[in-house]
Amino acid sequence: MEIRKKTITLVLGLALVLALIYGLWERANRMALANAVEASGHRDFYNLLSSVEQSHVHLGKALASSSPRQQAVHLTEAWNKAAAAQLSLSQPPMPQMKPLNTSKFLAKTSDYAHYLAQKLARGQDLTPEEREQLGRLREEMKKLAGDLRQTESQVAQKGIRWSSFYGTQMPQPLKTIARISLPVQATPSPLEGLINADRRLQTMPSLNYDGPFSDHLERPQPLGLPPGTPSQEEAEAKALDFAQKASSVPFRREEVRRTEGIIPTYSFRLVDSRNPRKVNVDISRHGGVVVSLLNGRPVNPPALNEEMALEKALSFLEAQGFNNMQPTYSIRSGNSQVFTFAPREKGVILYPDQIKVKVALDNGEIVGWDATPYYMAHHHRDLLSPRITPEQAKAKIPSPLEVLGVQLALIPLPGGIEKLAYEVHTKMDDTHYLNYIDALTGEEEKVLQIIDVPGGRLTM
Amino acid sequence: MARRRLFMALLVCLAIMGITWGVYQEKVAHRSLPVQAGVPVALGDEVNLLARLIAAEAGSEPYEGQVAVGAVVLNRVRSPLFPSTISAVIYEPWAFESVSNGHIWQVTDLSTPTMAAIDALNGWGPSYGALFFWNPYKPVSPWVWTRTILTQIGNHVFAR
């Protein structure tokens, strides 16, 4: 009896020791992970702080320097630092708050500095309004740096433990008991500085300029929708007809919903009368045109090649009344081929008015249609005549590049601007480029690199 | 005496249960490493990254709902309110539930989500410029309901 008792005590004791060791080991693991989280939180926060401070300094230097060349250098730095700050801002864990206004401010400042640097590079000077705008942005950047420094003193005194923000949530009943027994006191959040900054930046003055984040582009309006507002029944008939032409099988409606995007639509989910496959078709509520079609069916191994697929896409476009479309890019996506088309008007390719068509390579069915860019941008344009000749445009290309072709194109630039340019297809070593030369001034507007990917080409 | 023995046996049982539970927990934690069919995968490719997020967030949604989730990520990349790369958008703390709970590294069926990711990257976006999506049948932060709702696809509400 005595011996049995001893054995049991021994086993129990051993189990306890094992459990203790296990617990300590787990704790050590947890601490290692918590320290890693702590380190990454600190790294992101200090990156943010130093980027904001440097951006502030460079904005100041851009205003202080007298030569456009120096101004451009400092604006480029301010652009990079503000962009880096915007990226760092999103990474440390901040519970109960999302600094959306601060993020927007940093993105816009970065974009604006970029726009001004490019303007200087074109040989134009800053206007007094632009200098004033820049000064206002610098002032805001200074205040933001101040708020961040206030948060920094909390970070340095360990008032903020980034890893503590990741704790598992207490179950609701326990939370309620805790709240009743320990009434929460209004202690300032350790992130108070950032919260204040975000509240202040909510009322940023508007910025209008030729860049993607300019205020005049926040709500773009479609330019290409025909007049008239069809009823839902008319839209449905159109969707059924379009889907039938794309797939050569009849469909029936399964579901309809209204969407409130940039182009408000009726969105129909259609189902094949025989097979259980589904197609989604969006018909614009103004104008009643087919904005998009998406067929998510799995596509079998190809029976068609790219050329045959292109034929299918072109004849489908013609059947829809698009007669002057020209294929521009093409990319293989799984067992389908996606073609991007742009209209050609009086020998000019209109790149803003794109339509994408996706062809299934197993049976040539049209499984995708996206005319959103077309209906956003298409309108009657009075195209200007080029003031330089194709030969003059070619002469602008530096000598190591070999010229393979040239054509006129209307290209979209940041800020919703369209420019008439010569698209010069060039080659250096084994890399292809597209150089765009302004057809009125002869200035180079941009360069794209063509990237060959399996089954297609992309530009960057 | 018998009662004391019973009590001790009970204690031993508890200790053993505790240890097994700990070991089990450890196993579960191991599963959240990036693997695909048991093989670790590189997450450098952004198509794969997007496909994983779509699979984890909308794996059981209709196809257009999957493309729409991919489009939300890409709309965020283009928006000044969010970071400017796909990876920074996806791994922003608490931006996506499946990243917080590790579900994004456990998904195995990536065939349809990969198609959806490619369609989203090719510009198909039935999310109509949406920056947020959530499941209206689950508890969510009340803040999201202040956004402008654009549409609902399957079990997800999309908003700007």
Q: What is the ipTM of this complex?
A: 0.84
pLDDT at A143: 94
Distance from C-alpha of A295 to C-alpha of A299, rounded to nearest angstrom: 10
The CATH code of the domain that includes B103 is: 1.10.10.2520
pLDDT at B25: 47
Q: Which of A199-203, B13-17, B50-54 has the highest mean pLDDT?
A: B50-54
- Is B88 in contact with A90 (Cβ distance < 8 A)? yes
**Token pair recorded at residue A3:** 């011996």
- Is B63 in contact with A356 (Cβ distance < 8 A)? no
- Does the pLDDT of residue A184 top 60, yes or no? no
- Note whether residue B31 is domain-resident: no
B69 touches chain A (CB under 8 A): no
pLDDT at B53: 95
Taking CA atoms, what residue in B is nearest to A369?
Answer: B124
Taking CA atoms, what residue in B is nearest to A214?
Answer: B80
B88 touches chain A (CB under 8 A): yes
pLDDT at B40: 30
How would residue A12 be classed by pLDDT, with cut points 50, 70 and 90?
very high
Burial classification of residue A171, based on how many CB atoms lie within 10 Å of its CB (0-12 exposed, 13-18 middle, 19 or more buried): exposed
Q: Which residues of chain A does B126 touch, with a Cβ-Cβ cutoff of 8 Å?
A: 259, 267, 280, 282, 292, 294
B73 vs A458: which has the higher pLDDT = B73
pLDDT at A51: 96
- Note whether residue B88 is domain-resident: yes
At A29-80, the pLDDT tens digits run 999 999 999 899 899 999 999 999 999 999 999 999 989 999 999 999 999 9
Q: Which residues contact A193 (CB under 8 A, 6 or more apart)?
A: A147, A148, A149, A150, A151, A154
- Does the pLDDT of residue A274 top 60, yes or no? yes
How would residue A150 be classed by pLDDT, with cut points 50, 70 and 90?
confident
**Nearest Cβ partner for B122 among A95, A262, A333:** A333
At A280-295, the pLDDT tens digits run 999 999 999 999 999 8
- Note whether residue B78 is domain-resident: yes
Q: What DSSP string runs through A82-98? A: HHHHHHHHTSS--TT--
- Note whether residue B17 is domain-resident: no
Choosing among B128, B144, B150, which should be mutated to test the A contact, i.e. which has the most A CBs within 10 A?
B128
A453 vs A163: which has the higher pLDDT = A163
Q: Number of structural domains, chain B? A: 1
- Is A333 in contact with B119 (Cβ distance < 8 A)? yes
CB A254 within 8 A of CB A269: yes
Q: Which residues of chain B does A111 touch, with a Cβ-Cβ cutoff of 8 Å?
A: 80
Residue with tokens 């009368």: A273
pLDDT at A218: 74
Q: Give the 3-state secondary structure of B53-82.
A: HHHHHHCCCCHHHHHHHHHHHHHHHHCCCC
B19 touches chain A (CB under 8 A): yes
**Nearest Cβ partner for A18 among B19, B62, B112:** B19
- Provide Rg for chain B, Cα atoms: 21
- Is B80 in contact with A11 (Cβ distance < 8 A)? no
A423 vs A186: which has the higher pLDDT = A423
B63 touches chain A (CB under 8 A): yes
- Note whether residue B20 is domain-resident: no
Residue with tokens 């990226």: A87
- Strands (DSSP E) found in A351-443: 355-360, 366-370, 402-413, 417-428, 431-438
Choosing among A1, A47, A110, A260, which should be mutated to test the B contact, i.e. which has the most B CBs within 10 A?
A260
Distance from C-alpha of A313 to C-alpha of A330, rounded to nearest angstrom: 11
Residue B137: which domain range? 45-159
- Does the pLDDT of residue B30 top 60, yes or no? no
Mean pLDDT of A16-23: 96
Mean per-residue pLDDT over chain B, rounded = 77
- Note whether residue B148 is domain-resident: yes
Type and span of the H or E element at B153: strand B149-153
Q: Kindly state the percentage of chain A with pLDDT values over 70.
A: 93
CA of B66 to nearest chain A CA: how many angstroms apart?
A: 10
CA of A356 to nearest chain B CA: how many angstroms apart?
A: 9
- Does the pLDDT of residue A279 top 70, yes or no? yes
**Nearest Cβ partner for A90 among B18, B82, B149:** B82
Q: Which residues contact A452 (CB under 8 A, 6 or more apart)?
A: none
B118 touches chain A (CB under 8 A): yes
At A204-250, the pLDDT tens digits run 777 878 777 777 777 788 898 999 999 999 999 999 999 999 998 89
Type and span of the H or E element at A451: strand A444-453
Q: Is A62 strand, coil or helix?
A: helix
- Is B119 in contact with A294 (Cβ distance < 8 A)? yes
Taking CA atoms, what residue in A is nearest to B148?
Answer: A260
At A369-385, the pLDDT tens digits run 999 989 999 999 888 88
Buried b (16+ CB within 10 A) or exposed e, A403-427: eeebebbbbbebbeeebbbbbbebe
CA of A421 to nearest chain B CA: how many angstroms apart?
A: 25
Q: Which residues of chain A does B67 touch, with a Cβ-Cβ cutoff of 8 Å?
A: 294, 296
- Is B115 in contact with A91 (Cβ distance < 8 A)? no
- Does the pLDDT of residue B39 top 50, yes or no? no
- Note whether residue B39 is domain-resident: no
- Note whether residue B19 is domain-resident: no
Burial classification of residue B130, based on how many CB atoms lie within 10 Å of its CB (0-12 exposed, 13-18 middle, 19 or more buried): buried
CA of A401 to nearest chain B CA: how many angstroms apart?
A: 30
- Is A333 in contact with B115 (Cβ distance < 8 A)? yes
- Is A294 in contact with B153 (Cβ distance < 8 A)? no
B142 touches chain A (CB under 8 A): no
Choosing among A294, A335, A362, A453, which should be mutated to test the B contact, i.e. which has the most B CBs within 10 A?
A294
Mean pLDDT of A145-160: 83
Choosing among B24, B122, B160, which should be mutated to test the A contact, i.e. which has the most A CBs within 10 A?
B122
CB A78 within 8 A of CB A109: yes
pLDDT at A178: 63
pLDDT at B33: 32
- Does the pLDDT of residue A21 top 70, yes or no? yes
Mean per-residue pLDDT over chain A, rounded = 87
B47 touches chain A (CB under 8 A): no
CB B135 within 8 A of CB B106: no
- Does the pLDDT of residue A187 top 60, yes or no? no
B149 touches chain A (CB under 8 A): yes
- Does the pLDDT of residue B24 top 90, yes or no? no
Mean pLDDT of A308-335: 90
Q: Kindly state the percentage of chain A with pLDDT values over 90.
A: 51
CA of B129 to nearest chain A CA: how many angstroms apart?
A: 6
How would residue B41 be classed by pLDDT, with cut points 50, 70 and 90?
very low
How would residue A350 be classed by pLDDT, with cut points 50, 70 and 90?
very high
Distance from C-alpha of A65 to C-alpha of A74, rounded to nearest angstrom: 9
Q: Which residues contact B36 (CB under 8 A, 6 or more apart)?
A: B108, B110
- Does the pLDDT of residue B34 top 80, yes or no? no
At B104-118, the pLDDT tens digits run 999 988 888 988 888
Q: Which residues of chain B does A296 touch, with a Cβ-Cβ cutoff of 8 Å?
A: 62-64, 66-67, 112, 115-116
B16 touches chain A (CB under 8 A): yes
Residue with tokens 């901040």: A94
**Nearest Cβ partner for A370 among B12, B84, B123:** B123
Pairing of strands A355-360, A278-284: unpaired
pLDDT at B115: 87
pLDDT at B28: 38
